[in-house]
Chain A
């Protein structure tokens, strides 16, 4: 049963600290997405990769957020420095673009709280 995995599941940190969230996409998938979900805004696309190359990160605050795919089995989302307004659930999703319809499979999310 292939699944997207994310670590950590929960993270509480103080304002100003660096936060790194990790995602392992489903093996063989060639697209990876990072989303942020809050009660007020719902789900927002932050960035996505295809074949490990960043295609769009226009939804991401560039001054503090960075997303990378060091290899095909790992995607990272880093926030430095973190701020209380970054508190949200961060989801990673992966998909296989060749299917044409772009089905995305979501991980369980990382719940981030910045105090």
Chain B
């Protein structure tokens, strides 16, 4: 069974601090690994997309890493801001746009 597991389930950090979110996946075959940010009441917005040959990709203060051997990905947020408060969803795609979503990490950044 394809699974995408994320940890932690929720996280509270102080504004300005860094944090790292984890994602373990078992989807096969592997096409790409995505991280989405979902604000409350909104649809998910793509942060990064990586193929199996990429091991890091950045988007501003967001940096995603991928280890295809261990089937792990992480999303690192640098110098967090209050606007980073959201759910972060890891998504693994197999062929033909088959997608498996993680249940997300809910991040709260407090002043």
Contacts and interface: CB of A to CB of B under 8 A. Distances in A.
A101 B54 CA distance: 13
Interface string A16-43: 0000000000000001010000000011
Contact of A43 (B44, B51, B96, B98): B44
A45 B96 contact: no
How many interface residues does chain B have, given as a range?
Answer: 20 to 34
B105 to A, nearest CB: 11
Given A48-B97, A101-B32, A102-B31, A42 B43 contact: no
Max count, chain A CB within 10 A of own CB: residue among B93, B96, B97: B97
Nearest to A105: B46
A102 B103 CA distance: 20
Interface string B87-100: 00100010011110
B51 A101 contact: yes
A108 interface: yes
A103 interface: yes
Contact of B45 (A48, A106, A109): A106
A102 B93 contact: yes
Contacts of A48: 97
B95 to A, nearest CB: 10
Contacts of A101: 32, 49, 51
Query: What does DSSP make chain A's interface, helix, strand, loop or mixed?
Result: strand
B101 interface: yes
B98 to A, nearest CB: 7
A33 B98 CA distance: 11
Interface in B49-100: 49, 51, 89, 93, 96-99
Given A43-B89, A103-B49, A108 B43 contact: yes
Nearest to A55: B96
B56 to A, nearest CB: 16
A61 to B, nearest CB: 18
Given A42-B89, A102-B32, 6 more contacts: A42-B103, A55-B96, A101-B51, A102-B93, A102-B97, A103-B46
